């Protein structure tokens, strides 16, 4: 795992394809990532040209970058194992690409065992093809009859695969625990709402604003890595809101796969709050929303969405409304809000209330047993009791989550067909 040292320097490089219109945001985002990983950026170098198969970018640009004497060259474009090898070999330069950079940030933020395993898995998934490549290069140069060549890489590749399998098993256990936790929470009557969206959109700030939690929110990408969950009440319903890792453009698929157990907080939620920064230039907001929807799709989200157009305090009201119209196609059920200023939060809570599945009403008959009584007192916590009638039996009318009522019905209630009477 890579430690973040103070005083690291880097030069950023990006190759743009000639056919595409220039993009001012990608380099800016790369710079934000580099800073978040602890680098001071000495220079930003762009080149418009076709891909160079040896170095990705032109030799002259690499020489120009090295004239600043940086600790590292950081490429926006993904580098093939060959390109990494060539640049290291030819220029004796340390070089990484945007994926490595994101992994460095993740590594520095990973504080739980789960996050650490996820980061390690992502790194190994990234490294495995590089080692395999080194292996095949060695094999190509191998003399017939000379046994030994590539043996080191061979065993390393083998070790990497073994370690990846072990981590996957461990993470599968974590995921199963997550599933169990979610079903317990549902039995307790909670609705599970997850925050999702582009990094730096204001998810953690929104969690704090809605629940009074003290989650760290910072103006830099990927401050939050591990999920944090807090309770709140919306229209009499008990809701658990979970904040977790943010999305970013061109997120490699292996990274999403490695973070599956964390992302299942989003994919398995009852409702997802998709947070976007409405103060971004419209074109950028659109791009980030597209990236977020793609990530939600990759995570397998099927829950209903509410879009929070956050940081509305930075715009005039008319302008914010205009932007809301502009991205209507990418922003289902939009609410303009300001997590830091508090505007729009009541409207947001209302919108969440409307989009959560309506609670059903149930009528259940209970015997006067001590078990039934203790279950009934539990229901005071987990559901909304509408009416209790004391006759030969206890007749309880309540509104709540199916999972919360199911336990009662399974356990102690003398429950006729049709006891569930209201919808
Ligand atoms: N002006 C303004 N800034 C905000 C708002 N919400 C969040 N921010 C700022 O945006 C930055 C990123 O916020 P954070 O909650 O860490 O984003 P996350 O990466 O989505 O969790 C921080 O500097 C916040 O103070 C808002 O409603 N208005
Ligand atoms: Mg955050």
Cβ proximity of 306 and 355 under 8 Å: yes
Ligand 1, from 106, 202, 275, 295: best to mutate by most atoms within 8 Å of Cβ? Answer: 202
How many C-beta neighbours within 10 Å does residue 290 have? 13
On whether the CB atoms of residues 46 and 57 are closer than 8 A, the answer is: no
pTM as predicted:
0.87
Cβ-count burial 240-274 (b if 16+ within 10 Å, e if not):
bbbbbbbbbbebbebbbbbbbbbbbbbbbbbbbbb
Strands 394-400 and 360-366: antiparallel
The helix (run of H) or strand (run of E) holding residue 245 is none
Two structure tokens written together for 194:
């997850």
By C-alpha distance, which of 292, 244, 271, 294 is closest to 109? 244
DSSP 143: P
Which residues place a Cβ less than 5 A from the ion ligand 2?
A: 203-204, 223-224
**How far does residue 106's CA lie from ligand 2's centre (Å)?**
13
Q: What residue owns the CA closest to ligand 1's atom 19? A: 200
Nearest CA to ligand 1 atom 26: 311
Distance in angstroms (rounded) separating the CA atoms of residues 209 and 205: 6
For 84, phi and psi rounded to 5 degrees? -60, -50
Q: What pLDDT tens digit does each residue of the chain (423 aa) get?
A: 444 445 699 999 999 999 888 888 999 999 999 999 999 999 999 999 999 999 999 999 999 999 999 999 999 999 988 899 899 999 999 999 999 999 999 999 898 999 999 999 999 998 888 788 777 777 666 544 445 556 777 888 889 999 999 999 999 999 999 999 999 999 999 999 999 999 999 999 999 999 987 677 777 777 777 789 999 999 889 999 999 889 998 877 888 888 888 899 999 999 999 999 999 999 999 999 999 999 999 889 999 999 999 999 999 999 999 999 999 999 999 999 999 999 999 999 999 999 999 888 988 888 888 888 888 888 888 888 899 898 888 898 989 888 888 877 665 554 443 444 333
The kind and range of the H/E element at 233 are strand 228-234
């Amino acid at each position: 795992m890579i430690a973040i040292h103070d005083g690291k320097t880097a030069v950023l490089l990006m190759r743009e394809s000639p056919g595409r219109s220039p993009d001012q945001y990608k380099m800016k985002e790369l710079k934000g990532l580099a800073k978040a990983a602890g680098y001071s950026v000495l220079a930003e170098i762009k080149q418009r040209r076709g891909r160079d198969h040896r170095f990705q970018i032109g030799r002259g640009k690499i020489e120009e970058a090295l004239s600043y004497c940086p600790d590292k060259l950081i490429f926006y474009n993904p580098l093939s194992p060959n390109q990494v090898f060539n640049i290291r070999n030819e220029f004796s330069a340390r070089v990484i690409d945007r994926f490595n950079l994101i992994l460095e940030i993740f590594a520095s933020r990973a504080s739980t065992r789960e996050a650490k395993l996820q980061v390690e898995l992502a790194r190994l998934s990234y490294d495995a093809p590089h080692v395999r490549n080194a292996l095949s290069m060695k094999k190509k140069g191998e003399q017939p009859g000379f046994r030994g060549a590539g043996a080191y890489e061979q065993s390393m590749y083998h070790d990497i695969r073994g370690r990846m399998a072990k981590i996957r098993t461990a993470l599968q256990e974590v995921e199963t625990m997550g599933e169990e936790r979610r079903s317990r929470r549902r039995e307790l009557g909670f609705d599970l709402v997850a925050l999702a969206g582009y990094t730096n959109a204001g998810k953690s700030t929104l969690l704090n604003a809605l629940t009074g939690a003290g989650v760290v929110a910072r103006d830099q990408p990927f401050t939050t890595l591990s999920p944090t969950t807090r309770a709140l009440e919306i229209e009499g319903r008990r809701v658990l809101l979970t904040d977790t890792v943010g999305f970013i453009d061109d997120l490699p698929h292996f990274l999403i796969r490695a973070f599956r157990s964390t992302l299942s907080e989003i994919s398995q939620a009852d409702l997802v709050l998709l947070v976007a920064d409405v103060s971004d230039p419209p074109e950028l907001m659109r791009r980030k929303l597209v990236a977020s929807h793609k990530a939600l799709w990759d995570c397998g989200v099927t829950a209903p969405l509410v879009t929070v157009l956050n940081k509305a305090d930075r715009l005039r009201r008319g302008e914010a409304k205009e932007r809301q119209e502009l991205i209507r196609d990418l922003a289902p059920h939009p609410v303009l809000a300001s997590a830091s200023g508090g505007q729009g939060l009541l409207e947001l809570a209302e919108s969440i209330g409307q989009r959560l599945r309506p609670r059903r009403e149930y009528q259940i008959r209970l015997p006067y047993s001590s078990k039934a009584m203790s279950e009934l007192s539990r229901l005071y916590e987990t559901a909304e009791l509408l009416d209790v009638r004391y006759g030969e039996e206890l007749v309880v009318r309540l509104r709540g989550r199916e999972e919360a009522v199911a336990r009662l019905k399974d356990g102690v209630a003398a429950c006729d067909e049709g006891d569930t009477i209201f919808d």
